Structure 1
């Protein structure tokens, strides 16, 4: 397969400019190679049509799917996007998937996402794992753990990118089955980037706690790239985090956490803090409290987000962490989106803002709100387990600057538009 891919790359260079192909040329040429198993026999337009029907017929959604970014029905029916063309590049970034949690609900949606990744330049080596299923999970515990354990043992070469398929539930069951210290060492030597969020937080926390390796809080295969209309901002920010070794994100509003909060809740809102940022989905982080899989970092910065949890449940999970001593040696807490919280049926005044103010009173830590990440559109991907500097900015909010994490050195290896092309 490797020789075939190189031949195809050389041929493409001779006949195109800047290694770019239009969509039809790209999939025709790639489909002629023996290694084209990652692409479906259906066209992108056919997959889009099926994925649209699948979304309309869905009766329930898991956390990693909220919110869905969909086209108006009329736009799809009028073929306003199906007739568009895209610029694809030959996939050269070694990529493997890991499916640690829920099974994907739609093969067509997975296939559409795989085609988009290929178009954008990611060479997925194990697309078949998207078809695994055991009960509600994307395979048995052993199968799902093997996606990562085989890299630790050397049975499979560590890729440049390890991309999560989706979240939901199930990753916590895998934690005792993986040699995290060895996996972290292998990934560090290769400069591997593990990307995901939601339930994948369990994997990311264990990797940092036991393997001393960073990861990327980022959208996933099924959850984002398989949507009828992937969010363009999330796609662009995903690529920015993959390729920029000095990523910076500025936050001007606390609204994603609570409109009733200031962006910085602190006795001194002019200070600059530097430490290792860690965390992820609050439900998962709190479930790891007291275990060896929760990072134990001095002077850290805790990041937390969640969706569909009422204010009292958010407070209960924060108290889990507080009573377990998790906040004692931390410098600050950063909240991303706390979406879909609803109202308290006993007293509407008891809301997320009150919960976070109570946390500030308990811990005495500065709390930064409104970070643009979570179960939302327009996500800003960022590294976990990396060095983070937080400081107030001139816009009345704060900025977060990240260093010391692996990246893809050549951003020209990625055609970001491919991630949302139809």
Structure 2
């Protein structure tokens, strides 16, 4: 499917969906450090054209250094959004950094009984994992408001899942060299979880990491702006902590700009990093590259904390999951 020029050519969500937009992390800023109202309004107009009715929390318009308000403001707005009883979705302004600052300020007992689904990626990974660890609830990894400034058709179609629509299996081609051994056909069933590699690694050893809930799971990973050697260092941390060995499969999305720091032939590349991690894992645990997810326009929306099935036939990969009844 080719990229559309704007969201006007895309099928809108029906019926219209009520979306609350808090700002628990960074603010949307210009290069000069001021709030970029123009970019934000462009994204709002885009989701409105797609049939979403946005309600913006007050912190969206606030700025404290690089953040959308103080820790307390961001936590209050985010919790209020999560506890809403008249919305279809909580979708943050953007990621960046800041979610880990507010986790300890949230009332997890109240959030445990909330029913509005939440979606985000990147820095939002900290909330995805904390929610699973503290409440057992699932949430979504997927686009945030600013992802819709120039919406990709594939992204929009896969996003429909947060509103209860079924976009069908997620299918892609993986690098055969990293898949591991075993038969030509592989099937794994387990809890699907993951997100941003840097955030996942940062939560190890904290109350926010759902180690018990993710054992025997299917882990998906992505990152942006991390050189290949840093990606290796973070993957090694997960490996040495025993997390990777406890997974049934590891799905790798985009590691955007990982090779930007390569300076000479033989320098550390993403391919070398993944090959090395592959060599440290049992052949029975496949590493499937090519997952359409990450800091890229063409990204899927994935659940964190739902039972899923991952199937390989040769290098053809397919992922499905079961929604709660």
TM-score, normalised on structure 1?
Answer: 0.67
Query: How far off its partner does 1:391 sit?
Result: 0.7
**Which runs of no fewer than 5 residues in structure 1 stay unpaired?**
1-68, 72-80, 255-260, 407-422
Residue of structure 2 equivalent to 1:274: 189
1:56 matched residue in structure 2: none
Alpha-carbon contact 1:246-1:402 (below 8 Å) kept: no
Distance 1:291 1:140 in 2: 23
Instruction: Say if 1:90 and 1:118, in contact at 8 Å, map to a contact too.
Output: no
1:133–1:266 distance in 2 versus 1, CA, 3 Å: farther
CA distance in 1 between counterparts of 2:51 and 2:173 reads 33
Number of corresponding residues: 312
The CA distance in 1 between the partners of 2:167 and 2:38, in whole Å, is 36
Show the counterpart of 1:96.
20
Q: Which residue is equivalent to 1:398?
A: 317
Matched residue, 2:230:
313
Over the residues paired in the alignment, what is the CA RMSD in angstroms? 2.8
C-alpha displacement at 1:111, in angstroms?
1.6
CA distance 1:92–1:321, change in 2 (3 Å):
same
Q: Deviations over 1:285-326 (max 9, x none)?
A: 111111121121221111110122111100101112122222
Kindly state the Cα deviation for residue 363 of structure 1 after the two structures are TM-superposed: 2.8
Match of 1:162 among 67, 77, 90: 90
Answer whether contact 1:252 1:263 (CA < 8 A) is retained: no
Q: Give 2:202's aligned residue.
A: 287
Structure-2 separation of matches of 1:212 and 1:104: 31
Gapped regions of structure 2 (runs ≥ 5): 30-35
Distance in 1 of aligned mates of 2:246 and 2:75: 32
Following superposition, the deviation at residue 366 of structure 1 comes to 1.8
Whose helix fraction is larger, Structure 1's or Structure 2's?
1
User: Partners in 2 of 1:196 and 1:219 — Cα distance?
Assistant: 6
Q: CA, structure 1 residues 101+266, in 2 after alignment: closer, same or farther (shift >3 Å)? A: farther
Instruction: Tell me how far apart the structure 2 counterparts of residues 329 and 275 of structure 1 sit (CA, whole Å).
Output: 11
Residues 47-92 of structure 1, C-alpha deviation per residue, up to 9 Å, x if partnerless?
xxxxxxxxxxxxxxxxxxxxxx997xxxxxxxxx79x899978974
Secondary structure of residue in 1 paired with 2:206: coil
Counterpart of 1:330 (choices 197, 222, 247) is 247
1:340 maps to 257
What TM-score does the superposition give when structure 2 sets the normalisation length? 0.85
